[in-house]
Amino acid sequence: MDRILITGALGQLGLEFIKYFKKSDTFVLATDIRNPHEKLSCEFEKADVLNKERLDLLVKKYEINTIYHLVAILSANGEKNPFISWNVNMNSFQNIVEISVDNNIKNIFWPSSIAVFGTDSNLDFVPQNPSMNPETIYGVSKLAGEKLSSYYSRKFGLDIRSLRYPGIISTDTLPGGGTTDYIIEMLNAAKNKSDYTCFLSKETRLPMMYIDDAIDAAVKLMSIERKKLTISSSYNISGFSITPSELEDQIKSRGFNIKINYKPDFRQEIANSWPKEIDDSSSIKDWGWSCNFGLKETLDKVFS
């Protein structure tokens, strides 16, 4: 039976993974650099992922055999201090790998991102294996992690599985410093009946995914036999693509009288290097990926 360690467990993905695994009574140890605001439905230990000795102790104490490593400084926040971003994103990954090798842990989930691509990647419709030249430290660290995942799989027999997540939509947690955060902020503004100033231009098209699909995809990928998977780096995955102006129209069509202003900032340049659409046919073929939440279904959930 799986005994799962989730790092960065108090973030957007981590809290949803905890809820998911609770349904099946799977043992989960959640860790984060901060304490939770309220009691979690699983074991919790405060831990810094850069402290390898502390993590190693916890892995041994709780007999962990599977790791969901979710710690990351996201795209926009990463550009404010690229040195800290690299240290957190890459050295935490290295610690997880070393601990896994030392404790004979084979199964690791580590999310990548659409930030790995770049303007050389045919952004209108990005294939699984395009030319990749990321333009943010977040994207660079994620691409480095993908390359290392393939290497460590060959070198140590680790089974590191990964998805290149698009923007993840969930209004249950606050935005975490990403370039697609505008969609969560705009939805929350509509629910709170307040105006909103969008930091991207109204015609900036980006791929998105509802949180339930993001969790289901990871769990399904982790359940598939290794021999069926043809990708050892990270799989493309997508839900739907949308622009801020299209989202504004959809919100207003549901009766929300919201005023949106558009004032692009430094995040616009980041968004310009990201895909508009993603080819996720390898995920469909290899492990049966299927999106359950399009735009309509996502908005139905958000406003329910």
d(CA 277, CA 196): 26
d(CA 210, CA 285): 21
> Would you call 138 a catalytic residue per the annotation?
yes
Instruction: Taking the CA atoms of 167, 168, 172 and 177 in sequence, report the sign of the dihedral they define.
Output: negative
Compute the half-sphere exposure of residue 26: CA atoms within 13 Å on the CB side of its CA: 22
Q: Name the one residue in this structure whose structure tokens are 């680790």.
A: 158
Compute the half-sphere exposure of residue 154: CA atoms within 13 Å on the CB side of its CA: 8
With CA atoms as reference, report the closest residue to 145 among 79, 215, 92.
92
Active-site position among 68, 138, 210, 262: 138
Count of other CB atoms within 10 angstroms of residue 268: 15
Burial class (CB in 10 A: 0-12, 13-18, 19+), 48: middle
Compute the half-sphere exposure of residue 57: CA atoms within 13 Å on the CB side of its CA: 10
Instruction: Taking the CA atoms of 79, 84, 85 and 90 in sequence, report the sign of the dihedral they define.
Output: positive
Q: How far separated are the first and last CA of the chain, in Å rounded?
A: 35
d(CA 260, CA 268): 17
Order of strands, sheet of 43-46, starting from the edge strand that comes earlier in the sequence: 43-46, 27-32, 3-7, 66-69, 107-109, 159-161
Catalytic residues: 138
